[in-house]
Structure 1
Amino acid sequence: MDMFAIGKMADALELIDGFSPSSTTQSICLDIGCGIGISHPLMAPHVGSLAGTDVSGEAIETARAANPDVDYRIYDGERLPYDDASFDFSSTVCVMHHVPPAQWSTFVAEAFRVTKPEGLFAVYEHNPINPMTRWAVWRCPFDHDAVLLRARRTQALLREAGFEIVVRRYLFFVPIDRSWARRFDKLLRWLPLGAQYVVCGRRPRANSAGTQNPS
């Protein structure tokens, strides 16, 4: 498992621990655009339950074979295959840059729909401000259709969907899998030059009338 997958899953667990009303070990979690679930063996033992969804049926079958305790479902690219307010923590990891920009708002709105009131939605993305990130994306055949989003744009999309922003921080300043490098990264989270970033929003609690409090 590569250092980027390990680092992002550690960050996700930190977000749940720091901002979710549910404890990490009880949280019901969803990975949107999960691919083959490469990071799920790391995350699943630490949360209450884990689900993953992807538009690729082949990827879902591979993920199921590798992680039988995770609930995998195929996503049609429009409506997530889950009921409203199902998850304490939803996330999407380097997926939105593959979503056509005209569909970004719908994508985030679906995440809002399936996230519980007071639950979290975290978006991990490549940081286009970092020149090495732009070069790496340009060289990757898998990213030929990529439209990179700046953190401010991602933050605006979450706010438009109704989320309250709780975190925006930058990740992976030092591309070395060492404990000292991770400590150094944490010191620089505020600096918008990391290779990737996370924006995390909280769905507001429903009021007595069943509507959402304004964000």
Structure 2
Amino acid sequence: MPSATTESQPVDAQAAPGKIDFDDYSASYDTLLHESTKLYAEDSEYFARYKVDLIKEATRHPVRRVLEYGCGTGRNIAYLQTAFPDAEIVGTDVSAVSLEVAATANPKARFEIEREGMALGAFDLIFVASVFHHIPPLERPTVMRTLAGRLAPGGSIDIFEHNPFNPVTRRIVSTCPFDADAVLLKPAELRALFQSAGLKLTRQVYCLFVPPKLSWLMPLEKHLRWLPLGGQYWISASQVR
């Protein structure tokens, strides 16, 4: 893997504003997300379906417990339940108000307020979608070590992040109110975080190349995953054996 000493520096870290309180956006989250992402997809649910479908297709190990770290209002939870119908689905977040929304919409899932030192047990799949760019850079290693400590033997941590090399992504982030505190990560920084937590990298691909209105081009995406121009990237890791 390339050295993270230069490439891994956070994008626009010097300009990062104060921390966003997602309690303030829990009621309007879906509307704001739709407004911010309609340049790419009219249906904002598309992003949840897309990522969970990728995870389901790639997962080869048994999945009995799934954690979505930073689940927010639970937009991904129903798709995770459909993808892994026999698994216990747990969502955590720092926003108590968002978790109330998530629990109402997903009564069969379990939700917990994310806090330091909490005991949740081990998970076969830990799913993190567009969360790390909200975590202050100095806190990211601690969060990754926390996630590594929750990973069951043979399981995987799958993290999706915004691709800072994609101009459409940067525009979406710059216009989204709840991304006001975003400090985008280059892939090398996320790889370094995995490795510093003692995890073995198993996958890095780029995704979200084709907007839904051009769905007939979707089969081409699997051939473009090496190209660093997708709207997001996806990195997976497992425990070192």
Report the counterpart of residue 39 of structure 1 in structure 2.
Answer: 76
Q: In the alignment, what sits opposite 1:120?
A: 156
Farther-moved stretch of structure 1 (140-149 vs 35-44): 35-44
How many residue pairs match? The answer is 196
The match for 1:12 among 41, 45, 55 is 55
Which consecutive unaligned segments of at least 5 residues does structure 1 have?
206-215
Percent identity reads 36
User: Which among 157, 163, 167 is matched to residue 199 of structure 2?
Assistant: 163
Once residues 217 and 72 of structure 2 are traced to their aligned partners in structure 1, the CA distance between those partners, rounded to angstroms, is: 27
Q: Select between 39-48 and 55-64 the one with higher mean Cα deviation.
A: 39-48
Deviation at 1:79, TM superposition (A): 3.8
Q: Distance in 1 between matches of 2:131 and 2:69?
A: 8
In structure 2, the partner of 1:210 is none
Q: Which residue of 1 aligns with 2:101?
A: 62
- Cα gap change, 1:177/1:163 in structure 2, threshold over 3 Å: closer, same or farther? farther
Gaps in structure 2 of 5+ consecutive residues: 1-43
**SS in structure 2 of the partner of residue 73 of structure 1:** strand
Shift of 1:177: 5.2
Once the two structures are superposed, residues 20-63 of structure 1 have per-residue CA deviations (whole angstroms, 9 ceiling, x without a partner) of 3x1xxx43110000011112112203312211000011111111
* CA distance in 2 between partners of 1:169 and 1:133 (Å): 16
SS at structure 2 position matched to 1:157 = helix
The 8 Å contact of residues 166 and 201 in structure 1, kept in 2 or not, is answered as yes
Structure 1: distance between partners of 2:208 and 2:230: 5
- Do the aligned partners of 1:75 and 1:81 also contact (CA within 8 Å) in 2? no
**Structure 1 counterpart of 2:143, from 94, 107, 110:** 107
Query: Which one-letter code corresponds to 2:110 in the other structure?
Result: D
Partners of 1:181 and 1:157 in 2: CA distance: 34
Aligned to 2:180: 144
Question: Normalising by the residue count of structure 2, what TM-score does the alignment of the two structures yield?
Answer: 0.77
Assess, with a 3 A threshold, how the Cα gap between structure 1 residues 80 and 95 changes in structure 2: closer, same or farther.
farther
What is the rounded CA distance, in whole Å, between the counterparts of 2:181 and 2:108 in structure 1? 33
Secondary structure in structure 1 of the residue aligned to 2:74: coil
C-alpha RMSD of matched pairs (Å): 1.5
Deviations 1:174-199 (A, max 9, x none): 12256433312212011111000110
> Scaled by the length of structure 1, what TM-score is found?
0.86
Instruction: Tell me the equivalent position of 1:172.
Output: 208
Quick check: 1:118–1:204 contact (8 Å CA) kept in 2? no
Q: Distance in 1 between matches of 2:189 and 2:67?
A: 23
Work out which structure has the larger RCO, using CA pairs closer than 8 Å and 6 or more positions apart in sequence.
Answer: 2
**2:53–2:83: 8 Å Cα contact kept in structure 1?**
no
Gap change, CA 1:81 and 1:181, over 3 Å in 2: farther
